[in-house]
Amino acid sequence: MKATNIGVIGCGYWGPNLLRNFAENEGAQLRWICDIDEDRLTSMSRRYPMAQTTADYRVLVSDPALDAVAVVTPVATHFIIAKELLRAGKHVLLEKPFTATAREAEELIDLAERNGRTLMVDHTFIYTGAVRKMKEIVSRGELGDLLYFDSVRINLGLFQRDINVLWDLAPHDLSIMDYLIERQPQAISALGSSHIERGIENIAYLVMLFPDEFIAHFHFNWLAPVKIRRTMIAGSGKMILYDDIEPTEKVRVYDKGVTANRVSDREAAYQTLVSYRTGDVWAPKLDSTEALRYVVKEFLDSIREARKPLTDGYAGLRVVRLLEAAQQSMKNGGQAVILADTAQATPA
């Protein structure tokens, strides 16, 4: 089996992690490392002497021997770089958020499909042991009817200069919800505040409404006294608490709930009797393998097998659509944005 020749563009915070995982995967051959910062290039070159370095990503675009490229640059540059790479016939792995607009995402998807190339988004959390275990649980219907999804991701965090807290943190939770729930909201409403730098929200709240009573809510915050990463997924049967701060028992399944029985009543025709149910709690063992290892493996496998990756361009597009709508709502003081029928966001 011939190794896939890989290039990585962008060696800032996240790029080195991708480099390391490509280096450790036997199916990949690191061929190019690209960054506009000379020092980073030198440092990465020392670690991966087998790869060539360049400050110009177009060198990768025009290298016929290069098979695939991971783009780990600021989101504003994703579209133009990915477009050139896809046109040149490269497979592309894009860092999250996938693109700056849904329009860009759609164009990249189209380009990849026409060229028969793999286009994947690095929704890393989807590849964690915790999320994969929750997917198992949700898929076998253990939660019953889904009632709500509530996520809190707050910290005294790294302030970004180019994007707000929404574009920084929401891709994690939106991609997790998209993967687990497999439903698209009808309307989205968001509010935030900019305490530090005008125009860059450091706190944001999102609510999503669905055709039925299912509701999703998100709290993102760069300016919190404590670090919390907690998601609740409630169903009529069971409920999940996913606490990513916990070192081992990240996922707990609560056999808890409420049952509403409509019974006849002497006085008023019918009445609802609500009864509580509380049972065991179960914390399944989780695969603790680094998620990025599976991201890299899925990228390489999907190229080799010429199939869609788990987190394909449509997954990226769906999250960007939600981000765009949320951003728009936030600009309009929380006014709900009605989402168009998003059936087209899933492959035919």
Residues of this chain that bind its own copies (CB under 8 A): 147-148, 150, 156, 159, 187, 189, 191-197, 203, 205, 207, 209, 213-215, 217, 219, 221-227, 232, 234, 236, 239-241, 247, 249, 252, 254-258, 260, 272, 274, 276, 278-285, 333-336
Give the ranges where 122-188 is alpha helix by DSSP (H): 129-139, 165-181
Q: How far is the CB of 205 from its own copies (least distance, A)?
A: 5
Alpha-carbon gap, residue 225 to 298, rounded angstroms: 37
| Pairing label, strands 146-156, 223-235 | antiparallel
Cβ closest to its own copies, residue 77 vs residue 193: 193
Least distance to its own copies, CB of residue 121, Å? 28
**Exposure string over 106-139, b if 16+ CB within 10 A, otherwise e:** bbbbebbeeeebbbbbbbbbbbbbbbbbbeebbe
Residue closer to its own copies (CB basis): 112 or 138:
138
Q: What is the nearest approach in angstroms of its own copies to the Cβ of residue 276?
A: 7
Q: Give residue 176's identity as a one-letter amino acid code.
A: I
Scored b (16 or more CB within 10 A) or e, 198-211 reads: eebbbbbbbbbbbe
Which of 9/253 has CB closer to its own copies? 253
Return the number of the residue (50 or 307) whose C-beta is nearest its own copies.
50
Minimum gap (Å) between residue 177 Cβ and its own copies: 16
Cis ω for the linkage preceding 16 (within 30 of 0): no
Q: How far is the CB of 333 from its own copies (least distance, A)?
A: 6
Sheet-wide strand order for 203-209:
251-264, 239-243, 223-235, 146-156, 215-221, 203-209, 187-193, 337-338
Minimum CB distance to its own copies smaller for 101 or for 193? 193
CB of 83 to its own copies, least distance (A): 28
Beta bridge partners of 92: 69, 119
Closest CA to 124 of 151, 86, 98: 98
Cβ closest to its own copies, residue 101 vs residue 155: 155
Give least dist CB 285 to its own copies, A.
5
Nearer to its own copies, 116 or 333 (CB): 333
Cβ atoms of 4 and 68 closer than 8 Å: yes
Give me the amino acid identity at 45. S
